[in-house]
Amino acid sequence: MLPNSHPVMRGKVSCSDCHNPHKGSAFKGGGTQLARQNETCFKCHTAQRGPFVFEHQALREGCTVCHDPHGTVNARMLTERNGTLCAKCHMQDIGTGGATAGAGHIANSIRGACWSAGCHEAIHGSQVNKRFRF
């Protein structure tokens, strides 16, 4: 019933599209292994699968690191709002000269999230840019 969720209540998907009610598995495909969890998501979300030349490391940790499949108040079923989602993993880089240091990251953060500000639009991965710009 949250504002951003899979369209279960509208009848476009059902719980059994992702979950098997007759097995003890957390999701379809069996077990709780990360690879199988992602495969369940990729059945519908094919563009996010890749393969990408430059893959966002978060994909290796699983879709649910960033997305809550059961719904959220945040757009795109994100677990956090705006740039705070990215900061969970990347904030430590600012002071150490890492990935988010320089390039006006703090100043640009007022324009929105890393992807909605127009800087890192290919957030799942890119074929041409290691900074996920396109």
Helix/strand/coil (H/E/C) assignment for every residue in the chain = CCCECCCCCCCCCCHHHCCCCCCCCCCCCCCCCHHHHHHHHHCCCHHHCCCCCEECCHHHHCHHHCECCCCECCHHHECCCCCHHHHHHHHHHCCCCCCCCCCCHHHHHHHCCCCCCCCCCCCCEECCCCCCCC
Pairs from 107-114 (Cβ < 8 Å, separation ≥ 24): 109/83, 112/82, 112/83, 113/82, 113/83, 113/85, 113/86, 114/83, 114/86
* 113 in a structural domain: yes
Query: Max CA-CA distance within the chain?
Result: 52
* 27 in a structural domain: yes
The confidence band for 27, taking pLDDT boundaries of 50, 70 and 90, is low
> Can you give the residue range of the structural domain that contains 106?
15-126
* 133 in a structural domain: no
* 55 in a structural domain: yes
* 93 in a structural domain: yes
Spatial separation of the C-alpha atoms in residues 91 and 106, rounded to whole Å: 10
Counting the structural domains of the chain, the total is: 1
HSE value, Cβ hemisphere, 13 Å, CA-based, for 120: 22
* 5 in a structural domain: no
* 6 in a structural domain: no
The confidence band for 46, taking pLDDT boundaries of 50, 70 and 90, is very high
Q: What is the pLDDT of the chain when averaged over all its residues? A: 79
What pLDDT score does 100 carry? 54
What pLDDT score does 121 carry? 85
What pLDDT score does 12 carry? 93
Read off the pTM.
0.78
| For residues 56-75, average pLDDT | 90
Structure tokens at 81: 């709002």
**8 Å CB contact between 129 and 122:** yes
| For residues 48-58, average pLDDT | 90
* 1 in a structural domain: no
